[in-house]
């Protein structure tokens, strides 16, 4: 008997498609304060940076102004966070309720300094110039915050963001000048 070798040719072809079932667009708000403290002699005493928390009330205000078309508040003011204790921040902090931190008002300006922002570019908006606080009391500063209220120590308005210095609380003395810049990116 003769043995035959049989080949059964089978053609196999495969294809695959990898697709993203949905495209996602995300936008997170990230703010950064940069502070420099100069002594009465003009010498730099210290500098630090804060990557801050953008509070829920601030995010909601941004969305309401842009997407819902509600009344726009054009004025923003900067305040200082007191460093007498170790401040803590929460997403739910508001101007009226921020139990983890207090404001430091030991500067000679009669109100919180007014922010003037440059035009947005590449998804970021920054102060056109640093704001100056003329320190008139020896104290400790923990950080900064932004509010729609100019009144020092005031508890109305909207607080956009706040945070503490990365290097810990900083000492300031009567006669010092604290210059602070801010930028927000999305």
In a domain, 16, yes or no: no
Whether 128 contacts 116, CB under 8 Å: yes
pLDDT tens digit sequence for 82-126: 998 889 888 888 888 888 899 999 999 999 999 998 888 888 888
Residue 17: pLDDT over 90:
no
* Residue span of the structural domain in which 141 resides: 51-181
The number of distinct structural domains making up the chain is 1
Write down the pTM of the prediction: 0.81
Alpha carbons 52 and 143: distance in angstroms, whole number: 9
The torsion region of residue 41 among left (phi > 0), alpha (psi -120 to 50) and beta comes to alpha
In a domain, 42, yes or no: no
Alpha carbons 47 and 45: distance in angstroms, whole number: 7
- What DSSP designation does 148 have? S
More confident residue, 29 or 117: 117
Alpha carbons 186 and 174: distance in angstroms, whole number: 37
In a domain, 164, yes or no: yes
Whether 145 contacts 79, CB under 8 Å: yes
Average pLDDT over residues 34-59: 92
Helix (H) or strand (E) holding 63: helix 56-63
Alpha carbons 130 and 56: distance in angstroms, whole number: 25
In a domain, 27, yes or no: no
């Amino acid at each position: 008997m003769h043995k035959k070798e049989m080949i059964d040719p089978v053609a196999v072809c495969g294809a695959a498609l990898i697709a993203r079932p949905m495209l996602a667009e995300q936008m997170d708000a990230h703010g950064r304060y940069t502070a420099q403290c100069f002594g009465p002699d003009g010498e730099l005493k210290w500098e630090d940076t804060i990557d801050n928390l953008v509070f829920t009330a601030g995010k909601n205000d941004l969305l309401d102004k842009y997407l819902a078309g509600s009344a726009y508040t054009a004025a923003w003011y900067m305040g200082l966070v007191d460093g007498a204790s170790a401040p803590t921040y929460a997403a739910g902090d508001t101007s009226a309720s921020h139990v983890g931190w207090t404001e430091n008002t030991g500067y000679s300006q009669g109100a919180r300094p007014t922010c003037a922002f440059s035009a947005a570019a590449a998804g970021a908006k920054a102060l056109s110039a640093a704001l100056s606080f003329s320190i008139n009391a020896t104290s400790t500063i923990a950080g900064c915050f932004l509010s729609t209220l100019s009144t020092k120590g005031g508890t109305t308005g909207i607080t956009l963001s706040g945070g503490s210095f990365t290097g810990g609380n900083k000492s300031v003395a009567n006669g010092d000048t604290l210059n602070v810049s801010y930028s927000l990116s999305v």
